[in-house]
Amino acid sequence: MTKLTLGSHPFLLGFDQLERLVERTAKAGNEGYPPYNIEQSSDHSYRITLAVAGFREEDLSITVEDRQLVIRGRQTEEEESRIFLHRGIAARQFQRSFVLAEGVEVGAAQLENGLLHVDLSRARPETVVQTITISKR
């Protein structure tokens, strides 16, 4: 018995990229740092909020690479002469990735009170009706 994958099912023509997208989403990094929320702002807009306390704007970068939103953070150690008796605040770099559906655009990003907000919007798809003519042989 052969295993049918999502992209090879006879009723799902042209969906082979969907299977690759699901695999890429699973590999996108499920590390728990930094914590984040995803909110639906309206029918066609979303907001991702990451808790990035201690990061400045220049420590953060946001890129879109092949329909994948990548948010990176890297803090620089400014004073090496500091002696910590207890260090409970993490000063580590991170990378958080989100796979974007086709038509989802990244809008504004803002940093406030230790939270990084990234706004996303989805364009409304146009309904297209196509008539195919039948030719005689």
Q: What is the pLDDT of residues 48-81, one digit of tens each?
A: 999 998 899 999 999 998 889 999 999 876 667 7
Counting the structural domains of the chain, the total is 1
CATH of residue 46's domain is 2.60.40.790
Q: Is residue 132 in some structural domain? A: no
In this structure, is residue 20 part of a structural domain?
A: no
Tell me whether the omega of the peptide bond preceding residue 34 falls within 30 degrees of 0, making it cis: yes
Tell me how many degrees the CA angle 101-109-78 measures, rounded to the nearest 5. 125
Query: Is 131 inside any structural domain?
Result: no
Top-confidence residue, 20 or 100: 100
User: What pLDDT digit, counting tens, does each position of 107-133 carry?
Assistant: 999 999 999 999 999 988 788 899 999
pLDDT band for position 24 (cuts 50, 70, 90): low
| Domain carrying residue 53 | 32-78+87-122
Q: Whole-model pTM? A: 0.70
